[in-house]
C-alpha cells in the first residue's frame, strides 16, 4: 500500500482517487476551492466514490480530503496531478516548496508540466517529477460521487524530467500506475492521442456540438472525412517525431476501428464518453493552446511545415476568439528556445543545457 495524493477534483482526479483506493492505496483528494467544489462536497458526503466501468467497480473510500495543499501532500509517497495544463504553473508554484526528498510527482496528462514544476523555485532537487503520455484513463464523472472509466488500466508510457530519472520514476509509481519509459517528456507529450484527435474531431463537428450539448465525439462525430483529417494531423506529427528521433505511437488506426459502429463492441464504453459539450471545451482550448501549439513550435524549430495542424489552430482561435499562436505553449516558454535537435534532447535527458 502507498500513500497517494491526487491534486484535482475533476473527472480524472476523482477517477484516480477511486481507482487507487480500490487498488488498496491510501488516498487523499484535494482541489482548490475555486474549482469542482461540488465534486468534493459529494465525495465528502458519501465518504468516497462509486467507481463503474472497465477499470474497476465498487465503492472506494477516500481517506482524506485535504483542506489545503500542504495538508494534502504531507507524507504522500506519490502525488498525482490531474488538472488542465493551463493550471500547471499555478499548481507548481504552490506545490514546489511543500515537497520533500523521497516524494514523486506524476502529471496526467503531462503537456510538459513536469518541466514547469522542476524549474519552479523552492522545489527540492531530489523530488522526482514525471508525466504520462496522454491521460491515465478515458473517464468521466457520471453522477454524484460516481465515476466511469471506459477501459482497464494498461501500462502507460511516461517519462521523467530530466530523463535520467526515468528509472526512479517507474520504481516510485509502481503499484500506483505501472509505466513504461519513453525517451523524455517531449516524446511523451507529442505522443499523446489528444494531439491527433481532439482538435480535428471537434472543429469538424462544430455544428453538431453547438446544437447538442450531450454530443459524444466517438459516437456522433467520426466519419470518413473526419478520419482523413485526423490521419493528416498524425502524418504531420510523425514527421516531427522522426526528425527528433523519437518513438512513434499511432492513434489514427484506433479511430478507424471506433468508427466501425456495430463492430468491436469492447470499445462501446469508450464510444459512450461525453464531450465535447461546447466549443470552449478542453478538447479545443487545452489542445490548441498546449498539445497543438507545442507541436507547431517544435516543427518550426525543425523547419517542418504543418499546414493541417496550423489550419486547425487558426480555426480554433477564430471560434473562441483567442490567439493560440501567441499565447500557446512553445519551446521558448519551456526554456528550450533556440536549441537544435541534439541540444533539446540533451537538455531533456540531463536537465542541463549543452
Read off the pTM.
Answer: 0.97
At 137, list the grid cell. Answer: 484513463
Residue 299, preceding bond cis, omega within 30 degrees?
A: no
Task: Please indicate, yes or no, whether residues 264 and 338 belong to a single structural domain of this protein.
Answer: yes
Does 174 lie in the same domain as 26? yes
Q: Which of 131, 155, 189 is the last residue of a domain?
A: 189
- Kindly state whether residues 152 and 26 are assigned to the same domain: yes
Packing angle, helices 307-320 and 293-301, rounded to 10 = 140
Domain extent, residue 40, equals 3-189
Are the CB atoms for 107 and 114 separated by under 8 Å? yes
- List of residues 6+ apart from 144 with CB closer than 8 A: 42, 46
Using one digit for the tens of pLDDT, what is the confidence trace for 222-256?
A: 999 999 999 999 999 999 999 999 999 999 999 99
Residues 30 and 177 in one domain: yes
CATH number for the domain harbouring residue 181: 3.40.50.720
For residues 183 and 203, state if they share a domain: no
Task: Decide: 78 and 169 in contact? Cβ < 8 Å.
Answer: no
Please tell me the distance from the alpha carbon of residue 72 to that of residue 93, in angstroms, as a whole number.
15
Q: Which residue in 5, 261, 42, 258 sits closest to 151, CA to CA? A: 258
> Which stretches of the chain drop beneath a pLDDT of 70?
none
State whether 181 and 36 are in the same domain: yes
3-state secondary structure of 201: helix
| 147 and 222 both lie in a single domain | no
pLDDT attached to residue 1: 84
Q: Of 336, 341, 273, give the one whose Cα is nearest residue 302.
A: 341
In this structure, is the dihedral angle defined by the CA atoms of residues 81, 83, 88 and 92, taken in order, positive or negative? negative
The grid coordinates of residue 180 equal: 513504461
Q: How far apart are CA 269 and CA 200, in angstroms?
A: 22
Containing H/E element for 296?
helix 293-301
pLDDT of residue 277: 96
For residue 327, the domain's CATH number is 1.10.1040.10
**C-alpha to C-alpha distance for 43 and 50, rounded to whole angstroms:** 9
Q: Write down the pLDDT at residue 309.
A: 98
DSSP for 64-108, please give it: EE-SSHHHHHTT-SEEEE-S-GGGHHHHHHHHGGG--TT-EEEES
Secondary structure of residue 286 in the 3-state scheme: helix
Q: How many domains does the chain have?
A: 2
Q: Which of 189, 209, 236 is the last residue of a domain?
A: 189
Of 189, 217, 238, which closes a domain? 189
Grid cell digits, residue 91 = 499548481
Residues with Cβ < 8 Å from 207, sequence gap 6 or more? Answer: none
Same-domain status, 178 and 263: no
197 and 342 belong to one structural domain: yes
Instruction: Give the DSSP letter string of 113-136.
Output: HHHHHHTSTT--TTSEEEEESS-S
Amino acid at each position: 500500500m502507498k500513500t497517494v495524493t491526487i491534486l484535482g477534483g475533476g473527472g480524472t482526479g476523482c477517477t484516480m482517487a477511486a481507482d487507487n483506493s480500490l487498488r488498496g492505496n491510501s488516498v487523499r483528494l484535494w482541489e482548490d476551492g475555486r474549482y469542482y467544489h461540488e465534486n468534493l462536497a459529494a465525495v465528502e458526503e458519501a465518504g468516497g466514490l462509486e467507481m463503474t466501468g472497465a477499470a474497476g467497480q465498487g465503492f472506494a473510500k477516500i481517506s482524506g480530503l485535504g483542506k489545503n495543499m500542504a495538508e494534502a501532500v504531507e507524507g504522500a509517497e506519490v502525488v498525482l496531478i490531474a488538472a488542465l495544463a493551463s493550471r500547471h504553473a499555478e499548481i507548481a508554484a504552490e506545490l514546489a516548496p511543500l515537497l520533500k526528498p523521497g516524494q514523486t510527482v506524476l502529471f496526467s496528462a503531462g503537456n510538459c508540466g513536469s518541466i514547469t514544476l522542476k524549474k519552479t523555485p523552492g522545489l527540492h532537487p531530489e523530488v522526482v517529477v514525471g508525466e504520462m503520455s496522454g491521460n491515465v484513463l478515458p473517464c468521466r464523472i457520471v453522477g454524484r460521487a460516481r465515476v466511469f472509466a471506459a477501459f482497464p488500466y494498461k501500462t502507460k508510457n511516461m517519462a521523467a524530467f530530466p530523463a535520467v530519472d526515468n528509472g526512479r520514476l517507474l520504481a516510485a509509481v509502481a503499484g500506483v500506475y505501472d509505466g513504461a519509459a519513453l525517451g523524455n517528456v517531449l516524446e511523451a507529450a507529442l505522443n499523446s492521442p489528444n494531439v491527433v484527435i481532439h482538435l480535428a474531431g471537434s472543429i469538424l463537428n462544430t455544428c453538431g456540438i453547438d446544437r447538442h450539448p450531450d454530443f459524444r465525439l466517438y459516437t456522433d462525430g467520426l466519419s470518413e472525412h473526419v478520419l482523413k483529417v485526423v490521419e493528416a494531423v498524425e502524418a504531420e506529427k510523425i514527421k516531427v517525431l522522426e526528425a527528433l528521433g523519437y518513438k512513434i505511437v499511432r492513434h489514427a488506426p484506433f479511430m478507424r476501428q471506433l468508427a466501425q459502429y456495430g463492430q468491436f463492441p469492447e470499445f462501446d464504453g469508450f464510444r459512450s464518453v461525453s464531450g465535447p459539450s461546447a466549443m470552449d471545451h478542453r478538447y479545443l482550448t487545452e489542445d490548441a493552446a498546449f498539445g497543438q501549439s507545442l507541436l507547431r513550435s517544435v516543427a518550426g524549430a525543425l523547419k517542418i511545415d504543418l499546414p493541417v495542424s496550423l489550419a486547425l489552430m487558426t480555426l480554433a482561435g477564430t471560434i473562441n476568439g483567442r490567439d493560440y499562436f501567441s499565447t500557446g505553449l512553445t519551446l521558448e516558454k519551456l526554456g528550450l528556445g533556440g536549441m537544435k535537435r541534439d541540444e533539446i534532447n540533451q537538455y531533456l535527458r540531463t536537465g542541463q543545457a549543452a
